[in-house]
Amino acid sequence: MIGNSTMQRGESESYTDKPILPVSHQSSPSRKNRIASWWASQSRLRKIVYILLPILLLLGLILGLALGLTLGKKATEDSNPSADYVPTTISGSRSSLLQQGYWYTAPSNGTNFNWTSSGNLGNYRSDSQGVDIVIDTSQRFQTIDGFGGAMTDSSAYLLDRLRTRESSLYTRVMDFLFNNATGVGITRVSMGASDFSVSQEYSYIPNPPDFNAAASQLDSPDSLLSSFSTAGTQSAQYTIPVLVDALERNPDLKVVLSPWSPPAFMKSNNTMNGGQLRNGFIPLLAQYYAQTAQAWADAGVRPFAMTLQNEPSHIAAYPSMGMTASQQVQLAEALKGQLASRGLSGVQIWGHDDNYAGWQVASDIVNGNATAVDAIAFHCYRGSPSQIAQYQSALQNGVSKPIHMSECTGTSPSSRWSGIQGWLNNVYWPMAAQNASSVIQWNLALDGGYGPHLKTSYCSTCSGSLTLSSQWNPTDPYVDYNDQVYLTAHFAGASTDLTNVGGGPAVRVGAQQGTQFSLDRSDFQCLNWVAYAAPLSGSTLQSASTTNGGQPTRRVGFVIANTCSDTKTTVVSVDGRRTTVPVRQGLTSFVWTAP
């Protein structure tokens, strides 16, 4: 046997896996003579053909290769991103917010959240003759905390790259995305790595204690967490700086912290992927969470809320962890104390953070200790929004908790209009009816390859509100706007919190089909809508006035979708004051002021 004395990296350790090759070949004189004799017997024309044929084949191969390289050439990045399109909107000043008019987004690209000023509501009328839709602000439901999407590490990385690549475009994109009139009002971020982090997992314990020794040191939590630091992590490099920029545009932006996995040493399998929390580690985990909240606050991003564990029913090959309802109750109790000791008692604690189908777990959390959690958060991936009613029915002692949609992802739809309708029918309309105070989509931004994300991420086709160019998937234009971003803008614009300009938060209000409508009955099959109202002064809506000529006391927002191709001329009454509006195919958000 003849073989190499050293083995190259990647080669098999068993020589039997490799063919045994001779060292050299001996030429055969008789074979050479037969070839020479055959060649001499050929005509001149045949010799020319035999010579040209391989040359032509070689040329064809070269041309084919060149064509293939041209067709398969990697896309180039936008060479002039400063000129890229960015949608426009109104400002967040009081005078701007009290304008009356509407935003309209057409089914296809071209008319994107366009603003049109329109007239006032009419004088008060007690009758409802000819009214198609009746808005009644005395019927009040959930307070709105906002509409938005998640600032994942992946999203923040791409936005940070845009800032470095073209700061003027970054400024315009952020101005649109986070303005305090129609922008993202609530966002969700990961405490450490999620499946949509860039390249690698991480926690805020860079130098973890010995796995076996940690269990015997639980009475010294400060020692076990002694290396706690966000420095050098994706949170510190990308997510926090981009959120600080966002908060400069909207100081009232609500930030929700969500953990995908604790540091590995706290878990049964000593890895961030999958596993369960080790016995006795709940107090330590609560302290780790509270230190995380404090670190983010110290960096300029004070949390509005924290969830206890992302999708605790889904143990995955990316950062994740299983957690029972009982464990969530114990963790919430411990976390409340830890937050209070750091002056963060105003940070809300949301339980569940999981799918509709797990509604029983959500009710078990609230019934386990109703004072431990401030709200319940749902995801859209398993079950249906109607199961939230089952959760509500299972609550004991008359307890009720605010509802939030904390995660739902989009994938690339066949068209913008089909994507918008899918979101409306599956999320926005039913979650409004289930009294959700917020809707938080998944990634705010991804690249054209639906990333970056960890290799183990469950979703390789998730789309962001924005599509941004990256070094892996360069695009031209640098920024593109997907259906999700317009949905956020429409609902945010109709439900703007006026606290920052002397008013109060918006609430969902009654909006019903009229009984003496002027539209054809079949027209209502094309229409779906929801309405909101916010006080112009103070934090609570006053009763509507029936006096003509009074000063406005409320801002009313009305989001309506028309799935038919023709425009529906619709009579809308707001507390007895009516107006006639054109409802074109697409999505429209109207705003009025009323006394």
Phi and psi of 328, rounded to 5°?
-65, -40
Helix (H) or strand (E) holding 581: strand 577-583
Give pLDDT, residue 15.
Answer: 23
The C-alpha torsion from 227 through 233 and 239 to 245, rounded to 10°, is: 80
User: What is the crossing angle of helices 325-341 and 359-368, to 10°?
Assistant: 50
Give the span between the Cα atoms of 198 and 200, in whole angstroms. 6
My answer on whether 156 and 235 are in the same domain is yes
Q: Does residue 31 form part of some domain?
A: no
Domain extent, residue 52, equals: 44-71
Give the span between the Cα atoms of 260 and 278, in whole angstroms. 16
β-pairing verdict for 114-117 and 101-105? antiparallel
Q: In sequence order, which residues have a C-beta less than 8 Å from that of residue 505 and are 6 or more positions away?
A: 143, 144, 145, 497, 498, 499, 534, 539
Q: Does residue 18 form part of some domain?
A: no
My answer on whether 58 and 149 are in the same domain is no
Helix (H) or strand (E) holding 51: helix 44-71
The C-alpha torsion from 215 through 221 and 223 to 224, rounded to 10°, is: 50
Give the span between the Cα atoms of 86 and 175, in whole angstroms. 9
- Residue 583's CATH number: 2.60.40.1180
Q: Compute CA distances 229 → 191, 284, 413, 415, 437, whole Å.
A: 12, 16, 40, 44, 33
- Strand ordering across the sheet containing 466-468: 445-446, 466-468, 479-481
Q: Does residue 452 form part of some domain?
A: yes
For residue 273, which of 446, 455, 411 has the smallest C-alpha distance? 455
For 133-188, give the secondary structure using H, E and C. EEEEEEEEEEECCEEEEECCHHHHHHHHHHHHHCHHHHHHHHHHHCCCCCCCCEEE
Point out the domain boundary residue: 494, 514, 536: 494
Instruction: Provide the domain count of the chain.
Output: 3
Q: In sequence order, which residues have a C-beta less than 8 Å from that of residue 366 and are 6 or more positions away?
A: 351, 373, 376, 395, 399, 401
Q: Does residue 192 form part of some domain?
A: yes
Point out the domain boundary residue: 438, 470, 494: 494
My answer on whether 507 and 485 are in the same domain is no
274 neighbors 283 (Cβ within 8 angstroms): no
Residue 483 tokens, joined:
């259906």
Q: Does residue 36 form part of some domain?
A: no
Q: Does residue 2 form part of some domain?
A: no
My answer on whether 401 and 513 are in the same domain is no
Point out the domain boundary residue: 463, 494, 525: 494
Give the span between the Cα atoms of 414 and 84, in whole angstroms. 24
Residue 221, CA atoms < 13 Å, CB-side half-sphere: 14
Give pLDDT, residue 91.
Answer: 93
My answer on whether 258 and 324 are in the same domain is yes
Q: Does residue 291 form part of some domain?
A: yes
For residue 503, which of 534, 455, 537, 528 has the smallest C-alpha distance? 537
My answer on whether 107 and 255 are in the same domain is no
Hey, which residues does 136 pair with through a beta bridge? 510
My answer on whether 428 and 542 are in the same domain is no
My answer on whether 192 and 233 are in the same domain is yes
Could you say which DSSP state residue 414 is in?
S
- Residue 346's CATH number: 3.20.20.80
Name residue, tokens 């805020």. 204
Q: Does residue 413 form part of some domain?
A: yes
pLDDT tens for the chain, 595 residues long, are 333 332 222 222 222 222 322 333 333 334 333 444 455 455 666 656 566 666 766 766 666 555 454 445 567 899 999 999 999 999 999 999 999 999 999 999 889 999 999 989 999 999 999 999 999 999 999 999 999 999 999 999 999 999 999 999 999 999 999 999 999 999 999 999 999 999 999 999 999 999 999 999 999 999 999 999 999 999 999 999 999 999 999 999 999 999 999 999 999 999 999 999 999 999 999 999 999 999 999 999 999 999 999 999 999 999 999 999 999 999 999 999 999 999 999 999 999 999 999 999 999 999 999 999 999 999 999 999 999 999 999 999 999 999 999 999 998 888 999 999 999 999 999 999 999 999 999 999 999 999 999 999 989 999 999 999 999 999 999 999 999 999 999 999 999 999 999 999 999 999 999 999 999 999 999 999 999 999 999 999 999 999 998 999 999 999 999 999 999 999 999 999 999 999 999 999 999 999 9
My answer on whether 473 and 552 are in the same domain is no
Q: Compute CA distances 191 → 293, 312, 326, 341, whole Å.
A: 9, 15, 22, 20
My answer on whether 411 and 538 are in the same domain is no
My answer on whether 481 and 545 are in the same domain is no
Neighbours of 108 (CB within 10 A): 10
Neighbours of 579 (CB within 10 A): 17
My answer on whether 468 and 337 are in the same domain is yes
